[in-house]
């Protein structure tokens, strides 16, 4: 059980102790950014943001059937094929979330140029890993920018999701992968929502 995202980030930073070559820590917005800020501080590395948006099922937006970044290809899980959605429906769902991802990238960058990923050891951090589909979309977008290595890190993760994400990242680092995972928030005493304002502040304060 973690006290909050900051506590989780500090514990995760201990697991991520180097050596790293020109490391860059990416917080997966929004909840991953406070965790990533602590990791970046612990590693003495710069912090930047990664944005991926869950694609919800029609009429059931909380049921994630995929994910997409602002400019990368969408990732769909097996549930999407079972819904019998047409390619047009999938495209519409994807483009709506892609537009929101682009809006958030612009907001979070706040006029800053994104930190370069090429040739660096990139560590992508989230506050937890449930299904892995959002992480996979973000990892594929980061991989396209030619990092030297790409690591995914989270304080807590579902074991099956770790195996899925491991196919996309060079390494996956977690503090705990409990068999009775159920949900990320279960493993935090304080799991309040992270606001856009907090994300912008953390990125500004560590730039």
Tell whether 201 and 102 lie within a shared domain: no
Tell whether 79 and 43 lie within a shared domain: no
Tell whether 32 and 125 lie within a shared domain: yes
Q: What residue numbers bound the domain in which 73 lies? A: 53-108
Helix ranges, the chain (H) = 5-15, 32-43, 78-82, 87-109, 133-143, 159-166, 196-205
Tell whether 44 and 123 lie within a shared domain: yes
Tell whether 67 and 161 lie within a shared domain: no
pLDDT more than 90, % of the chain: 78
Provide the pLDDT for residue 207: 64
Tell whether 94 and 193 lie within a shared domain: no
Average pLDDT, the chain: 93
pTM over 0.85: yes
Q: Picking from 47-56, 85-94, 161-170, 194-203, which range would have the lowest pLDDT averaged per residue?
A: 85-94
Angle of CA points 125, 127, 132, to nearest 5° = 75
Q: How far apart are CA 64 and CA 151, in angstroms?
A: 23
Tell whether 103 and 44 lie within a shared domain: no
Contacts 24+ apart (CB under 8 A), 203-207: 203/33, 203/47, 203/48, 203/49, 203/108, 203/110, 203/112, 204/110, 206/37, 206/40, 206/41, 206/46, 206/47, 207/46, 207/47, 207/112
Length in residues, the chain: 207
Q: Picking from 30-34, 72-76, 175-179, which range would have the lowest pLDDT averaged per residue?
A: 72-76
Provide the pLDDT for residue 63: 75
Provide the pLDDT for residue 92: 86
Pairing of strands 60-69, 52-57: antiparallel
Tell whether 160 and 63 lie within a shared domain: no
CATH of the domain at 170: 3.40.50.2020
User: Which residues make Cβ contacts (< 8 Å) with residue 120, sequence separation at least 6?
Assistant: 21, 22, 23, 24, 147, 148
Residue 5 has pLDDT above 90, yes or no: yes
Q: Under DSSP, is residue 137 helix (H, G, I), strand (E, B) or coil? A: helix
Count of structural domains within the chain: 2
Pairing of strands 149-156, 75-76: unpaired
């Amino acid at each position: 059980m973690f006290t909050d995202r900051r506590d989780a980030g500090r514990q995760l930073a201990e697991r991520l102790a180097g050596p790293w070559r020109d490391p860059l820590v990416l917080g997966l917005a929004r909840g991953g950014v406070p965790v990533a800020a602590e990791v970046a501080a612990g590693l003495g590395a710069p912090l930047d943001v990664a944005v991926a948006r869950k694609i919800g099922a029609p009429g059931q937006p909380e049921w994630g059937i995929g994910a997409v970044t602002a400019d990368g290809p969408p990732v769909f899980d097996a549930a999407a094929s079972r819904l019998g959605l047409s390619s047009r429906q999938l495209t519409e769902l994807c483009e709506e979330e892609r537009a929101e991802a682009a809006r958030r990238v612009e907001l979070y960058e706040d006029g800053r140029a994104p930190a370069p990923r090429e040739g660096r050891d990139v560590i992508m951090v989230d506050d937890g890993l449930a299904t892995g589909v959002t992480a996979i979309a973000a990892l594929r977008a980061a991989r396209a920018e030619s990092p030297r290595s790409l690591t995914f890190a989270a304080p807590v993760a579902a074991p099956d999701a770790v195996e899925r994400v491991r196919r996309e990242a060079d390494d996956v680092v977690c503090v705990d992968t409990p068999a009775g995972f159920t949900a990320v928030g279960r493993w935090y005493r304080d799991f309040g929502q992270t606001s856009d304002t907090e994300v912008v502040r953390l990125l500004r304060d560590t730039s």
